[in-house]
Chains A and B, each alone.
Chain A
Amino acid sequence: MDFEKINRRERKSRRVRNVLLYTLLSLWAVIVLFPFYWMILSSVKSYGAYNSEYIPQFITLSPTLENYVTAFTSVPLGRYFLNTIIFTLSTTVLMVVVSVFAAFAFARLSFPGKNLVFTLFLALMMIPNELVIITNFVTITDLDLRNTFPGLILPSVTSVFYIYLLRENFAQIPDELYYAAKVDGTSDLKYLFRVVIPISKPTIITIIILKVIECWNSYVWPRLITDDPDYFLVSNGIQEIRENGFGRENIPAMMAAVCVISLPLIVLFLIFRNKIMEGVSRGGTKG
């Protein structure tokens, strides 16, 4: 009798708790998703319709794609896009090559002063970008590399943290594999490509994804080093559009540009969801 009462009360309190939990979680989900909804919604409202709304409308009955056409035709959005793709791909490829070789040297090869060099290396991880960007700006300017791709790419290549992450991963590969390969007369380079890289593929993919996100969103360095719109990346592009493009107040076209810029990473995220979340929890720093 009593037992049943307790049981019932327990079940009731659990139901109340669940309702509270799901309400709370859904509320935040709405806050997260709402800006995305608003951006898509505004991008399909026509210019006239948007500007005549003194009170913003939550839906539109006559969606239009004309803003997307405007976004690509009246500002060089395609150019910004292409620049960002070139920048992201070259930076990422260079980063992976440089990091893999360095990590391999630290993990597998031996040379005098290796531990010292590695310690200094780790110390570099603490150095904030803001501290070195000033001289880099002067260096690149002196080399006459402003408004060029090398100027954009070269200082963004190295990431001490990724080298560290790879080294830890390479170091876990059993020594026996290396000795077996040596007995077979395999060279270090061949061992690296045939054994180490295939085994460490998940980590390499992780750092590639993190770097791509970082490149796609980078703003500060590109802003310092480019003032010619031919070399703008999407972040500078959107800022330029905001300040000078579309005759100032064409918000729907601006939102169309924002949608186009946001889409690639969101698609990438939905495809590689688990890889990205795992990668960020291991090596993400934004936050």
Chain B
Amino acid sequence: MEKKNLKALLYLLPALVFLGVFMVYPLIDVFVYSVEEGYNSASQIYFGHGLYNFSYVLHDPYFLMALKNTFLLVIITVPVSTGIALLFSVALSSIKKLRSLFQTIYFLPYVTNTLAVGLVFMILFRKTEYSDGLVNLMISWFGGESVDFITGPYWAKMFVLCFYTVWIVLPFKILILTSALASVNREYYDAARVDGTGRWRIFTKITLPMISPMIFYLVITGFIGAFKAYSDAVALFGTDLNAAEMNTIVGYIYDMLYGNSGGYPSYASAAAVLLFAIVLTITVINLMVSKKHVHY
């Protein structure tokens, strides 16, 4: 028995070492960092413990901007992408011809490099002195004014960021919802049809309740994912997100840690802890709401 224990431990050892060094230790450390005041990474000394780092971060205009951007992004993209995904998965489920072709196409954004395709979006949306760009050309077809979406007004930049985010996250949502729709028992539909129930009523009374756990799952993962948005913003607006007024919370953390404004791991840790607290709170609220509305 002794020998067996040792052997099991040997199998586990690599995983334990990796997780210990790169997950458990950092997890404890980040909370320690976040309460060490005036930490200097060069001399590795600090003045004392307290909540100063949090108060600094919460009063930093860049953090507040990042907070606002992130919340806007979350509030806009999560409902929009979930709604569109629902629409397209229902549409996909009600056709037979070309279905797998559409599914393949819809999934493509999932396997693309966010940074690389973001560059294409930037080129489609931006306006330079040499060219108004493609999107502005289309706007002009409908008689609209051209807008610089990349370095122009705030709402235009936010629109591109939301559009790109939705484009990126839809494949996953459509995939999950189409398989959820496929797993609804046919007999419910047959029974409803025998009773002469209308299409819309079938959808709201049978389909939606049956797939509600999956919709809920997507809303939660969507919230968490959108709160961590960062590389999509970098892809569109470049690495200096503060200057572009498009920074996100995660972007703020990395800027504090590294780069031109970096070298403040304590502030970065405080911001990371705040982000974690926000995500945790939202997830708990989501769970409480779902108890009321989700049918298992």
Choose from B5, B102, B114, B133 the contact partner of A219 (Cβ within 8 Å): B114
- Cβ of A119 under 8 Å from chain B: no
Instruction: Give chain B nearest CB distance to A238 CB in angstroms.
Output: 5
* Given A25-B95, A35-B117, A220:B175 Cβ within 8 A: no
The number of inter-chain residue pairs (CB within 8 angstroms) is 254
B24/A124 in contact, CB under 8 A: yes
Residues of chain A lying within 8 A (CB to CB) of residue B116: 234-235, 238, 257-258, 261-262
Residues of chain A lying within 8 A (CB to CB) of residue B27: 127, 131-132
Interface residues of B (CB under 8 A from A): 4-5, 7-9, 11-12, 14-16, 18-19, 21-27, 29-30, 33, 41, 87-88, 91-92, 94-95, 98, 102-117, 119-121, 123-124, 130-134, 137, 167-169, 171-173, 175-176, 179, 218, 221-222, 224-225, 228, 230-231, 234, 238-239, 250, 253-254, 257-258, 265, 268-269, 272-273, 275-276, 279
Q: Which 10 A-B pairs have the closest CB atoms?
A: A287-B172, A135-B26, A102-B15, A132-B26, A109-B8, A105-B11, A111-B8, A135-B29, A158-B18, A287-B169
Closest residue on chain A to residue B102 by CB atoms: A25
A235/B113 in contact, CB under 8 A: yes
A273/B104 in contact, CB under 8 A: yes
Choose from A29, A223, A234, A287 the contact partner of B222 (Cβ within 8 Å): A287
Segment with Cβ contacts to B, from A53-61, A68-76, A200-208 = A53-61
A268/B111 in contact, CB under 8 A: yes
Bound complex: CA A261 to CA B231 (Å): 16
Contact code string A119-142 (vs B, CB < 8 Å = 1, else 0): 001001001101111111111000
A134/B12 in contact, CB under 8 A: no
Residues of chain A lying within 8 A (CB to CB) of residue B115: 217, 219, 235, 238-239
- Cβ of A213 under 8 Å from chain B: yes
Choose from A29, A137, A224, A269 the contact partner of B106 (Cβ within 8 Å): A29
- Cβ of A197 under 8 Å from chain B: no
A135/B30 in contact, CB under 8 A: yes
* Given A138-B265, A258-B117, A32:B273 Cβ within 8 A: no
Instruction: Give chain B nearest CB distance to A157 CB in angstroms.
Output: 5
Interface residues of A (CB under 8 A from B): 18, 21-22, 24-25, 28-29, 31-33, 35-36, 38-39, 42, 51, 53-56, 97-99, 101-102, 104-106, 109-112, 114, 117, 121, 124, 127-128, 130-139, 154-155, 157-158, 160, 163, 188, 213, 216-217, 219-220, 223-224, 234-235, 238-239, 242-243, 251, 254-255, 257-258, 261-262, 265-266, 268-270, 273, 276-277, 280-281, 284-287
* 6 sample A-B contacts, Cβ–Cβ < 8 Å, listed by A number: A38-B120, A54-B132, A101-B14, A138-B265, A216-B113, A265-B112
Bound complex: CA A155 to CA B24 (Å): 12
B33/A134 in contact, CB under 8 A: yes
Secondary structure class of chain A's binding surface, majority of residues:
helix
Instruction: Give chain A nearest CB distance to B183 CB in angstroms.
Output: 11
Given A98-B14, A127-B23, A160-B23, 11 new contacts (CB under 8 A): A28-B88, A35-B121, A53-B131, A55-B132, A128-B228, A132-B26, A134-B268, A157-B18, A158-B22, A280-B110, A287-B173
